[in-house]
Amino acid sequence: MTNWKNLDTLDSYKALKACKGSVDLTTVMAGESGADRAKNYSVPMAEKLTYNFAAKEVDDTVLEKLAALAKEAELVDKFQELYNGAVINTGENRLVLHQMTRGQLGEPVKADGVDKRTFYVEQQNRIAEFANKVHNGEITNAAGEKFTTVVQIGIGGSDLGPRAMYLALENWAKKNGTFKMDAKFISNVDPDDAAAVLASTDVAHAIFVLVSKSGTTLETLTNESFVKDALAKAGLDASKHMIAVTSETSPLAKSDDYLAAFFMDDYIGGRYSSTSAVGGAVLSLAFGPDVFARFLNGAAAEDETAKNTDIRKNPAMLDALIGVYERNVLGYPATTVLPYSQALSRFPAHLQQLDMESNGKSVNRFGEPVDYPTGPVIFGEPGTNGQHSFYQLLHQGTDIVPLQFIAFKNSQIGTDVEIQGSTSQKKLCANVAAQIVAFACGKKDENSNKNFKGGRPSSIIIGEQLDPETLGALLAHFENKVMFQGFLWNINSFDQEGVQLGKVLAKKVLAHETDGALKVFSDLLNI
């Protein structure tokens, strides 16, 4: 059994605090020293990705102290307990098994009377069989015609991850001949979301995937009715156009309203569910089950790296430790994810939920207030778009915001043009390289308005090309990073009580059970 202790009680954390200010990026990232760091401060990930931390405010001494912290906080041992089936989600008294959807990292885990790895693989196989039948025309609409579009209805974890993954692989699949069906997504309870998606969809040839782990989410159930209404108006039988993905214990699980139902369970948090049936259904329908399997393999390979006790061989743990150093010792309140890849346009939105819903906590696993900052604010946009938007603050603003770049050597589609001696892909990569050094080193100017102080830390994950395996590895990296940070902060990263209050009050507003400010706002909004 491991010891769960608050970060500020650990001796290695106290030692780490003494390192504050010891690394000046404007100096160490300049000249030969910068070149050495760029070469050596790099850790291999799975699927030919590398995590490079040359431009972080660390040196060998800080790294030594981070390694001591990893050991004292028993990070790898805690991960081991997690994948061997301990009740890590103390708030909800649940196991945490999302890594098991992509592999068996440790001992078999039995829960609810079944072997959990077997259960997840069974669901994958059921989805694969269903998707193959849709693709080969064994499952069709009532007129015997093939389905051409899949529309996912879900919100939060039942939307963001699957949507980001779909967008990440859409062009890759088209280029590689594995694209099967267009996918669309309806998430918001704003009627304009469902109405606009439905208006652009040939509903007679669409299969809808209703995704809700709990089966009780207001937005999703409302959108289900919205879609059923549209299907009825088109003279179609909704039960022949809709499948469900839910947990076996949810109210949806036993309903006859669906063509088929696929299951996840309570041991997979919504924001960790992209590799479960939640992502599996839409991605297998859109790209084929083989592509989904390759995505899982990439995630599994990255999960294996997270078992390593050596911080130079465990990129997620190293990334997590540096993040906590930045948050708690250096005092940086936010971080930004900047993929230099248009395919990852919704990846930052997914990471917002993954990170902030997991680690936005003020009490530890035992319900006691913690005296130190926990999860940072996280936001992002693809580069180079972000450069023409919010980078001004990142370069010259009063807050230092650590940056997390992601870039690939090759584009997905391969169509490119050479202008002024370079392709667009080279221009994209040149920009990310330039930004790393610009942020770290800055540039002196006598005109203070044009002066760049530098000293702004960044990391970069570099890959060959964004494909199913690299995407899986990338996703697993961030999931595992968030998990390790939760361990360091001694918080439960797997529940989300903070989202409840607003939902309860919204119900009161709709029932007109309001007074005070709530009543006035209800009137102002004409509810």
Instruction: Indicate which residues carry an active-site annotation.
Output: 357, 388, 503
- Per CB under 6 A, 187 contacts ligand G6P: no
User: Looking at the DSSP assignment, which residues form a beta bridge with residue 263?
Assistant: 246
Told to check if 479 binds ligand G6P by CB under 6 A, we report no
Which residues inside 334-363 make contact with ligand G6P, applying CB under 6 A? 357
520 binds ligand G6P, rule: CB under 6 A? no
Least distance from ligand G6P to the Cβ atom of residue 75, Å: 24
The window from 20-28, 53-61, 210-218, 303-311 that contacts ligand G6P (CB under 6 A) reads: 210-218
Binding flags for ligand G6P, 269-288, as an x/- string (CB under 6 A): -xx-----------------
User: Under the criterion CB under 6 A, does residue 212 sit at the interface with ligand G6P?
Assistant: yes
Does residue 499 belong to the site contacting ligand G6P (CB under 6 A)? yes
The residues pairing with 183 across neighbouring beta strands, listed in sequence order, are 150
Residue 458 in contact with ligand G6P, rule: CB under 6 A: no
Q: Mask: binding to ligand G6P, 31-70, rule CB under 6 A, as x and -?
A: ----------------------------------------
**Residue (of 476, 85, 489, 125) closest to 267 by Cα position:** 85
Taking the complex as a whole, the smallest distance from the CB of residue 156 to ligand G6P amounts, in Å, to: 3
What dihedral angle (degrees, nearest 10) is formed by the CA atoms of 423, 424, 430, 435? 170
Q: What one-character-per-residue DSSP string does 484-517 give?
A: HHHHHHT--TT--GGGHHHHHHHHHHHTT---HH
Yes or no: say if 285 and 134 are a contact pair by the CB < 8 Å rule: yes
Q: How far is the CB of 93 from ligand G6P (least distance, A)?
A: 17
Q: Say if residues 383 and 338 touch (Cβ distance below 8 Å).
A: yes
Instruction: Specify the stretch interacting with ligand G6P by CB under 6 A; choose among 1-9, 154-162, 297-305, 435-443.
Output: 154-162
Q: Would you state the structure tokens that stand for residue 66, as one six-digit string?
A: 């981070």
> Of 223 and 364, which CB lies nearer to ligand G6P in the complex structure?
223
DSSP 451-486: -B-----EEEEEES---HHHHHHHHHHHHHHHHHHH
The dihedral region occupied by 462, where left means phi > 0, alpha psi between -120 and 50, and beta the remainder, is beta
| Contacting residue, 123, 149, 201, 220, with ligand G6P by CB under 6 A | 220
65 vs 361, which CB is nearer to ligand G6P?
Answer: 361
Residues that bind ligand G6P (CB under 6 A): 155-158, 212-214, 217, 220, 270-271, 357, 496, 499
